[in-house]
Structure 1
Amino acid sequence: MASKKYLLLAGAMSLLAASTGFAQVQPNYDALDSSKVPASRAAQQNNFVNHQYDYPAKPRSMWELGFHGGYHFIRGDMDAKPGFGGGLSLRKALGHTFSVRAEYTGSIDKGLDYQLRPANYAGGTLSWQPTAALNGGRIVPNYKTQTHQLSLDMIASLSNIMFYKSQPKVNWYVLAGYSLMLADVDVDAVGANGAGYDFSSVNFSGKRKDIKDQIKNILDGDYESNAPSQGNRAQIGRKSDNQLWRHAVDFGTGVAFKVSKRFNIGIEEKITMPFDDYLDGYNSGAYDASKDFFSYTSVRLNFNLGNPNKRVEPLWWINPLDYAYNELSSPRHMKLPTPVLPDADGDGVTDQFDREPNTPAGAPVDVHGVAKDTDGDGVPDFKDKQLITPTYCQPVDADGVGKCPDPECCKNMTQKPACASIVLPSVAFKGSSTKISSDNEAILSSVANTLRTSPECNVLVTGHAGAKGKKGGVDLSSRRVDAVIDYLADKQGIDRGRFIKQNTPGESSTVDLAPAN
C-alpha cells in the first residue's frame, strides 16, 4: 500500500513541475517602499532610507490559509487500508526562511490482518473472547481509528534564497512540531448478538489478497467494540467511548508550486508519532516492539490573505538577495562617490581617452584631446597667428600665416608712390605754447590721412631749440614734438611706433614733419 502511495506522490509532483503556468508571476517587493513597513519598525526603515542604518525593516507579509486533503494511514502491527485525512491550516512568516503554521487534521483509518494472532496481545480478551473461543485462543486483528489532530509546526524553506535566479517559483520545505491528538480506536471483535467469528473455513496458507477476501466475507464491519489502550505515561486522559488524548511529535517535508501571487499548490508528506502501540487496536508484544505512527500525504491549496497595497507576499516566496543584486546592477539607494579620473594635461579629456596627453595648458582641444586646427593648415590654433587661412593661401609658415597671391584684377594697377615722395607740412607754435591750436589740428588731420594711406611709411618729427640752442629751448622743443606725436597717436589713431623724434638748431617756433623711410 505504501508503494502505491509514493508512486501517486511522484506522479503528482511531476505533473505540477511540468506545468507552464507556475513560472509566470514573480513577487514585486521594493525595500525602499515604506508603505509596507509596520509602525513598530518605521524608525529602522527611516534610518535605512536616510543612510543611517544598513538594513531595511522587515515588511508586513500576507498570511497563508490552506486547505488540505489526501491519503492517511497508520503504520502499525497489521496491514492498513487506504484512509483519508483533511483539514485546514494558517501559516505566518517569521522571516524569509522560517515560518510557523497552525493546522487541524481529521482522519479515518482502517486496517485488517491476514493471519490468526494470539488474543492476549490485544491487551485484554473481554471483547475478543467469543471469537478467540472459536479459533483456539486466536483472533484476526482489525481496527477503525478516527482522529482529530491539532498541530503547531515550525517550517524552514529551503529554496527561496537563490544566488543565480530572481524569485522562487517552487518552494521546498521541511517541518517539525508538536501535535495534540484525540483518537477513537474501535475493533470489529464479534458479530451480531455478540457471537464470535469462526475463521476455520479460511485458508491462511494462500495469497494475502485471497485470505483477506475470505475474512471480509466473515466480518460484518460494524466495529462495535472499543479497542484496548496502553496504560503508560503516553495516555494522559480518557474520555467516554474510548477516546484518548495523546501528545505527539510530527515532522515532514513538502513542496509548493506558485500559480499566482495569491495562490499556490503544494504536496506534503507528514509523519505523526504519538508514542502509542494501540492506535491500530493491537500490540504484537515481543514480536514487534515499535510504536504505531500516522503517515499523511496531502495535496494542499494555499491562498495568501491580506491587502497587497500594505503587505508583501509571504516572505518564503521572496528572495532576500533580490534587492541587493538589483541595487548592484542599477543603484538607486547606494551613495556612489564622484569618479576622479586622471587628466595629466588638464585639457578636460581623461588620460585613458586622450590621444594627445601633453597639450599645452589653455590650448583648445577636440573630444579626443587633440589640439584644434580650425583652418586645417597644420598649425594648431594655439600657435596659429592667422586662425583662418584660406586654402588658396596655403601652405603657411611656422606661425600659420599664408601668402595669398594677388588677384588677377589688381596685378596691373599703378603702384603707390614711394615714401620719399610724400610731402608733409610743418606745425607752428606761438610764444612758449605747447598746445595744439585749432589751425594745427586741421593740419595734423591732413597728415594723419596721408599716413593712413601709406601705412608702410614712418615719420621723422623734428623740433628746433633756437639758433644757438639757448637755455630752455631744448626742453620747449621736446615738449612741442611730444604734443604733435600725442595728437596724431591719441586723437588720430596713428601707431606711435611710426614716429622718430629729433631736436636740431633752428627756428624754435616750428615742428617739422618728414618721411623717415
Structure 2
Amino acid sequence: MASKKYSFLAGLLCLFTSYGFAQTTTTTGSIGAYDPADSSVIPSRRMPQHTEFMNGTYNYPAKPKNMWEIGIKAGSFTVNGDVDGKFFSPGFGVHIRKAFGYLFSARLEYVYGIAKGLSWQGSSQTSYGQGGTGNPWQRLGYTGTVYNNYKSKVQDLSLEGLFSLNNIMFHQSRPKVNVYALVGVGASIYDVKVNALNGSTPYDFSGIPAGTYKTRKDVKDALKNLMDDSYETDAENAKTRRPNLFGKTLRPVGQLGGGIAFKLNNRVNLALEDRVSITKDDLYDGVQWTERGDFTRDFDTYNFLSLGLNFNIGSKSVEPLWWINPLDYAYQEIRKPRLMILPKPVLPDADGDGITDQFDQEQTPQGVPVDSHGVSLDTDGDGVPDARDKEKITPTYCQPVDADGVGKCPCPDSTCFAGYTKTGACEAALGTLPSVTFSGNGVSLNNDAKALLASVASRLRNSPECKIVVTGYCASSKSEQQRSWDRVNAVISYMVEKEGISQDRFFWNYGQEGGDCNTIDLRAAASDEQGQTTVPAPHPNLRRSK
C-alpha cells in the first residue's frame, strides 16, 4: 500500500515540476511586485527604518507588508497501523498561512479524514483488548477467526511551521516553484467503527479461503462478497482512560511533511503535499495490539496526501514572502543602481588638459591646446605645436619652418606670383586639405573629424577669396546616394554652423565614383570653377540624422 502511495506521489511531482519549470519565463505581473522604495507597502511601525534607508543612513530596506494565504485541499487520508489501510480514502483540509520572513512561515490547519482498512489475514485473538469498550469481536461473541477492519473518522487542528527550501536563488529572479518542509504540533479527535455485523447478525467467516495457498486477492474478494459497508460497531477505544472531546478520543499529535507549490499567477498557486501525523496512540485503526500475537504496542500514524489550491489575499501588500527572492533588490542595485548612493567618479588628468590619463596620448604642459587625444594642436601642420608656433598659419609654400614655426617664403612680395593663376594661389594658400572619415553607415562627425575641420576653417579665414569643393563617393543604389549626400551635408553644415564659414564658399559634389564610400575629400576650388552651393536631398525618405 505504501509503495503505491509514494509511486503516485512521485508521478504527480514529476508532472507538476515539469509544469512549474515550463513557466519560469512568465513575466511577473504588477500585483504583489516589490519595490523597496514603495512606502505604500511598508507598515507604519517600520516607516522609521524605511525613512533611514531612503536617506542612505541605514543599509537594509524595511520588510514590506505581505499577503496572507488561505488554502483548501483534498486527497487521500490513510492510517498506518496494525490493519492494512485503503489508499484512496477521502481527506479534506483548510488552512491560513502567514510569512514571518522569506524562509519561515506559520500555518494554522484543520484536516478531516475518513480512513478505511481491511486485513486479509485472519486473526483468532478474540480475547485481546483492555479498558474502554474492549474488543468488538469479543463483545459480539465471535470465537473463531475474524478479519479486522475499520472506518476511522479523524479530525485535527495543528499549528505548523513551514520552511521554504528554494527561495534564495542566485541565477534566477522569483521562483515559480516553491519547495517546502513542515513541522507542527496539534491535537486530533478520532472515532473508529468496525464492520462486524450483517444487519444484526455476526458474519460467518468460515467460507473465507484459508491455508498455505490463499492469496491476498482471493481473501479480499471473498470478504467483499460477504460483508456490507455498514461499520456499525464501535471499535476498541480508550475513551474512559483518555481525554475526549465531543464523545471522541482526544490526542496530541506532531506533524512532519513537505510539499511543492506551483505558481499559477501572483494570486493563486497549486500545491502537492504529503503530511504525516505522529501519535502516541495505537487505536486509530481500532486494534491495540499487533496481529502477530506478540502483544507489542505499535503506535499508529496517519498520513494525508493532498492536492490543494491556495489564494493570496490582501491589498497594498506584496506577495507572500516565500514567493520573493530576497536577493532581487541586491542584484538589481549591483546591475543597475537606482537607490544606491554612489561616490562621484574622479578620473585622473595628470597634465590638466581636460583629457583623462586613460585616453591621453601625450603629457602636455599646462595651458597647451590639445585635440581629443590629448596631443598638442598644430593647426598649420608645420611640425611646431600651436603653443610654441609664432606663426600659427604658415602657408605650405613657406614651409619648412624654423623652431618658432616661422616659415621662409621664397619671395617677399606679390611679384613672386606672376604667371600663377588664382587657382594656384588658393591651392598654395590652403595647402593639401585633409579628408574626413565616417564609420559604418553613420553620418555624424566624431571628435577627430571636428578637429580636422577646425584647422580647415582656420585656413579659410586666412584666405577669404578661396572656396573648397566637398566630394562624397558611391551612388550604386538610392541608399548610397542619400548616404553620400548626408555626409557631404554633415561637413558643410558643421563648417557653416560651428565654424562660421559662409555657405557660398562650399561646392557640393556628392555621389562620385572612384573613391572610398566612407571618405569625404576636401580640395581648393579653381578660380573659374563653378559649383552648386545648395543641393536638395536625392531621397529625403532615406535621410539619416546621425
Same fold (TM over 0.5): yes
State the alpha-carbon separation in 2 of the partners of residues 232 and 383 from structure 1.
115
State the alpha-carbon separation in 2 of the partners of residues 232 and 127 from structure 1.
16
Equivalent in the alignment of 1:214:
222
Report the Cα offset of residue 22 of structure 1: 5.1
Any conservation in 2 of the 1:230–1:277 contact (CA below 8 Å)?
Answer: no
Asked whether 1:230 is paired with 2:238, we answer: yes
Equivalent in the alignment of 2:259:
254
Choose which of 307, 310, 317 in structure 2 pairs with 1:299: 307
CA RMSD of aligned residues (A): 2.2
State the AA in 1 paired with 2:142. A
Equivalent in the alignment of 1:355:
361
Any conservation in 2 of the 1:23–1:258 contact (CA below 8 Å)?
Answer: no
The structure-2 alpha-carbon separation of the partners of 1:76 and 1:126, relative to structure 1 and needing over 3 Å to count, comes to closer
Any conservation in 1 of the 2:135–2:235 contact (CA below 8 Å)?
Answer: no
Any conservation in 1 of the 2:127–2:138 contact (CA below 8 Å)?
Answer: no
Report the Cα offset of residue 40 of structure 1: 1.1
Q: Secondary structure at the match of 2:205?
A: coil
Choose which of 176, 179, 185 in structure 1 pairs with 2:183: 176
Asked whether 1:105 is paired with 2:105, we answer: no
Report the Cα offset of residue 152 of structure 1: 1.2
Asked whether 1:185 is paired with 2:185, we answer: no
Report the Cα offset of residue 406 of structure 1: 4.0
Report the Cα offset of residue 42 of structure 1: 0.7
Choose which of 145, 163, 182 in structure 1 pairs with 2:170: 163
Report the Cα offset of residue 96 of structure 1: 0.4
Report the Cα offset of residue 238 of structure 1: 5.0
State the AA in 2 paired with 1:339. P
Report the Cα offset of residue 390 of structure 1: 2.4
Equivalent residue runs for 1:325-344 within 5 Å: 325-344=331-350
State the alpha-carbon separation in 1 of the partners of residues 349 and 417 from structure 2.
57
State the alpha-carbon separation in 2 of the partners of residues 45 and 126 from structure 1.
66
Asked whether 1:372 is paired with 2:372, we answer: no
Equivalent in the alignment of 2:26:
24
Any conservation in 2 of the 1:131–1:197 contact (CA below 8 Å)?
Answer: no
Report the Cα offset of residue 127 of structure 1: 3.0
State the alpha-carbon separation in 2 of the partners of residues 409 and 222 from structure 1.
133
State the AA in 1 paired with 2:324. I
Identical columns (%): 47
Report the Cα offset of residue 303 of structure 1: 1.3
Report the Cα offset of residue 342 of structure 1: 2.8
The structure-2 alpha-carbon separation of the partners of 1:281 and 1:22, relative to structure 1 and needing over 3 Å to count, comes to farther
| Structure 1 portions without partners, runs of 5+ | 414-517
Equivalent in the alignment of 1:76:
81
Q: Secondary structure at the match of 1:119?
A: coil
- TM-score, structure 2 normalization: 0.70
Map Cα deviations across residues 139-197 of structure 1 (whole Å, 9 max, x no partner): 2111001122212111111111122222212111111111221211111123322x222
Q: Secondary structure at the match of 2:231?
A: coil
Asked whether 1:140 is paired with 2:147, we answer: yes
Name which of structure 1's ranges 156-165 and 117-126 shifts more when overlaid on structure 2. 117-126
Q: Secondary structure at the match of 1:252?
A: strand
Report the Cα offset of residue 110 of structure 1: 0.5
State the alpha-carbon separation in 2 of the partners of residues 381 and 232 from structure 1.
112
Choose which of 32, 38, 51 in structure 2 pairs with 1:33: 38
Determine which structure has more spread, i.e. the larger CA radius of gyration: 1
- TM-score, structure 1 normalization: 0.74
State the alpha-carbon separation in 2 of the partners of residues 294 and 314 from structure 1.
30
Q: Secondary structure at the match of 2:120?
A: coil
The structure-2 alpha-carbon separation of the partners of 1:192 and 1:261, relative to structure 1 and needing over 3 Å to count, comes to same
Map Cα deviations across residues 398-430 of structure 1 (whole Å, 9 max, x no partner): 1111233449962499xxxxxxxxxxxxxxxxx
Q: Secondary structure at the match of 1:400?
A: coil
Equivalent in the alignment of 2:526:
none
Equivalent in the alignment of 2:5:
5
Moved over 6 A (4+): none
Equivalent in the alignment of 2:203:
197
Report the Cα offset of residue 116 of structure 1: 2.0
Report the Cα offset of residue 29 of structure 1: 1.4
State the alpha-carbon separation in 1 of the partners of residues 52 and 203 from structure 2.
78
